[in-house]
Amino acid sequence: MSSVYINGVSCISVQDTLAEDFFGQFKPENSVPIVKAIEPAYKEFIPAAMIRRMSKTVKMSSVASHYALKEAGIEKPDAIIVGTGMGCSQDSEKFLKNVIDNQEEFLTPTYFIQSTHNTVAGQIALALQCHAYNFTYVNTSSALEFSLLDAKLQLTDDEAENILVGSTDEQTERTMELYQLRHIIKKTEHFPVDFLTSTTKGVLWGEGSSFFVIGKNKTENSYAQIRDIQITNKLEQQETESFIEAFLVKNNFSLTDIDAVILGFSGDQESDTYYKTAINLFPESALLYYKHLSGEYNTASGFSTFMACHILKNQQIPEIMMINSIKKNAIKNVLLYNHLLGNDHSLVLLEKV
């Protein structure tokens, strides 16, 4: 498959990733179960009357998509593709509470209308008056990767020139409680956690929105090329190495061609073993992790993809992301590996422009 380019990026996350100099301002978190996204001043982007009505995921996406498009110099993309694990869970939860609390009576439709998973993509289309292809992937952990793959296929098929791709997830109070009940989020007594050497079950939960403009052509602003994407629902521990190796071979890459590997260490002892196995393949590469900065969530790879773009463009790796101490003179190829508690494994290969 031929390459496509990432020409605009924007990320709202637990870190202040909208700030100009965010590289130097990272504040890792390992002592609380839930971390929240730093929200921008929405009133600069969204009419005041709408701010109250819109859910967090819609607002974050509205701002992040705005910046990504602006950076790429695109007003109306040829397609809008959004990935989200939990969709509009705040409005879903509000409507569900109303249904239960009021015994199915005296309901108003607003929360229901905004509860569907495709609300984000639909709202962006509405705001841009964009009639083009509009898609929403809702995979447990590979929604962004499928969105990128879809975009890549359309660009290489000459169906589009510039595509807006995003990933977004928001927290809700009750879902967080239920995740704690289920120990998807670590027990309180298991914090603080060392993300790389954790011996306990569960993760630290975050949220955020990342948007990208993927183009057929290289521009002055290009961050990276997307070489290839590989996705699988399941993987046995012992298949991890062959999964990665086969992907690289398919792209005519050897293991030593990979300058940096960004791994999704989440602090969940059992499922992090996949990443530990992957590390063995790359003794000469810079190894990075990020969920101590972003938290885990269904589309956490939006944060790492955003970081990979900046790393490739700036040729600089934030010290705080380093697992080992291998420094590369030049960072040409970056491999991202992510999954969520052992489900939906994805590999994304990005290349310097």
Partner 1 sequence: MGHKIAITGMGIISSVGNNVEENFISLTTGRHGISEIQMFESRHAGHIKTGEIKQSNEELVQHLQLNEDNNVTRTSLLGMIAAKEAVENAGISDINAFRTGLISSTSVGGMDITEKYFYNYEDFPEKQKYIDAHDAGNSSLAIADYLGLKGMVSTISTACSSAANAIMMGAKLIKNGVLDRVIVGGTDSLSKFTLNGFNTLMILTDSYNTPFDQNRKGLNLGEAAAFLVLESDEVVKKEDKKVLAYLSGYGNANDAHHQTASSENGQGAYLAMQQALKVSGIDKEEINYINVHGTATPNNDLSEGIAMIRIFGEGNVPEFSSTKAFTGHTLAAAAGIEAVYSILAIQHGIIFPNLNFKTPMEEFNLVPVTELRKKNINHVLSNSFGFGGNCSTLIFSKP
Residue 40: cis peptide before it, omega within 30 degrees of 0: no
DSSP string, 48-109: HHHHHHS-HHHHHHHHHHHHHHHHHT-SS-SEEEEE-SS-SHHHHHHHHHHHHHTTT-S--S
Smaller CB separation from partner 1, 140 or 251? 140
**From residue 216, how far is each of 134, 191, 213, 319, 352 by CA, in Å?**
18, 45, 10, 32, 15
Smallest distance, partner 1 to C-beta of residue 57, A: 14
Smallest distance, partner 1 to C-beta of residue 146, A: 5
Smallest distance, partner 1 to C-beta of residue 328, A: 31
Smaller CB separation from partner 1, 152 or 310? 152
Smaller CB separation from partner 1, 62 or 114? 114
- What are the b/e assignments for 2-30, b being 16+ CB within 10 Å? ebbbbbbbbbbbbbebbeeebbeebeebe
Smaller CB separation from partner 1, 43 or 106? 106
CA 70 to chain centre: 20
Yes or no: say if 194 and 30 are a contact pair by the CB < 8 Å rule: yes
Under DSSP, is residue 23 helix (H, G, I), strand (E, B) or coil?
helix
What is the spatial distance between Cα 169 and Cα 58, in angstroms, rounded to a whole number? 9
Smallest distance, partner 1 to C-beta of residue 262, A: 21
Smallest distance, partner 1 to C-beta of residue 18, A: 26
Smaller CB separation from partner 1, 19 or 249? 249
Smallest distance, partner 1 to C-beta of residue 65, A: 14
- Which residues bind to partner 1, rule: CB under 8 A? 1, 80, 85-87, 92, 95-97, 99-100, 103-105, 107-109, 112-119, 121-123, 125-126, 128-143, 146, 149-150, 153, 156-157, 174-175, 178-179, 181-182, 184, 231-234, 298, 343-344
CA 232 to chain centre: 17
Smallest distance, partner 1 to C-beta of residue 253, A: 18
Smaller CB separation from partner 1, 172 or 305? 172
Q: For residue 286, how many other CB atoms are within 10 A of its CB?
A: 22
Smaller CB separation from partner 1, 164 or 317? 164
Bridge partners, residue 288, by sequence: 262, 322
Among 183, 136, 130, 138, which Cα is nearest to 160's? 130
